[in-house]
Amino acid sequence: MLNLAVVQIRPELGEVEKNLSKVLELLKHVKPRSLVVLPEMWQCGFDYGRLYKHAQSTQWVIEEVKKLSLERSLIIVGTYPTHEGEGIYNTGLAIGYGEVLGVRHKIKLFPLYDEPKYFRAGTENPVFDTPNGKLGVLICYELRFPQLSWELRENGAHLIAVPSMWGAKRKEHLVVLSRARAIETQSFLLLSNAWGKVGQEEYAGCSAIYSPWGEVLCFSERGESIMQVETDKKEVEVVRRYIPL
């Protein structure tokens, strides 16, 4: 069996300790041996004025997440601001069983949120081997680029995690695109989005888990929530055999 979970929260802008405390408490309620996805930039939101300061806190945050992942036997996916070389990256991490299992920098930076002004763009789109299977990561705006999801599929992914902070004005796009990416890649897709007002921006919620057939296994538009699903990883093989792409 395959245990999947997504956590939906409203991060407090720039409040690293509060956000970390909230997320660690919620993760204690996730079933052991689950793959669980957190929102994009959940530790601080897009707090550009203090971004370098928050990036300095990231290693401490990661160590706390690693501890809990080991205690609870979890694989935890989210993104963090990281300072590397001369710039800051929006970095997706898969943390599992006390270790960092994979690292991926956000490739497509969202111009409406001025991300290109504050982040450097990544170039690699890897697939990670995890105890729950082969995992790919798309970060928020990257849902709009089907070539990225198809590249993950071609490289063996059957699980796609999507940490997001997607605005409420584009809510319907989020719902359509996330379900479409699951259908076209014939993969389980786990979307974790922020909800409510964070800083000056209203976020859409609509976190969900979709099956390789495109079924809505769980969905939450508003409120802080943990959604968990127990399913069969063989469903990917069944769907891909039925409609070979």
Q: What is the mean pLDDT of each run of 10 residues along the chain (245 residues)?
A: 97 98 98 98 98 98 98 98 95 98 98 97 98 98 98 98 98 98 98 97 98 98 96 97 97
CATH code of 2-242, in short, is: 3.60.110.10
pLDDT at 68: 98
Q: Where are the domains of the chain?
A: 2-242
Res 70: pLDDT: 98
- At residue 86, the pLDDT reads 86
The pTM (predicted TM-score) of the whole model is 0.98
* pLDDT score recorded for residue 10: 98
DSSP string, 26-63: HHTTSPTT-EEE--TTTTT-S-GGGHHHHHHHHHHHHH
Q: How distant is the alpha carbon of residue 37 from its chain centre? A: 5
At residue 218, what are phi and psi to the nearest 5 degrees?
-165, 155
**Residues whose CB is less than 8 angstroms from the CB of residue 231 and which lie 6 or more positions away in sequence, other chains included:** 1, 2, 4, 188, 211, 217
Q: Who's near 121: CB < 8 A, 6+ residues apart?
A: 105, 106, 107, 108, 109
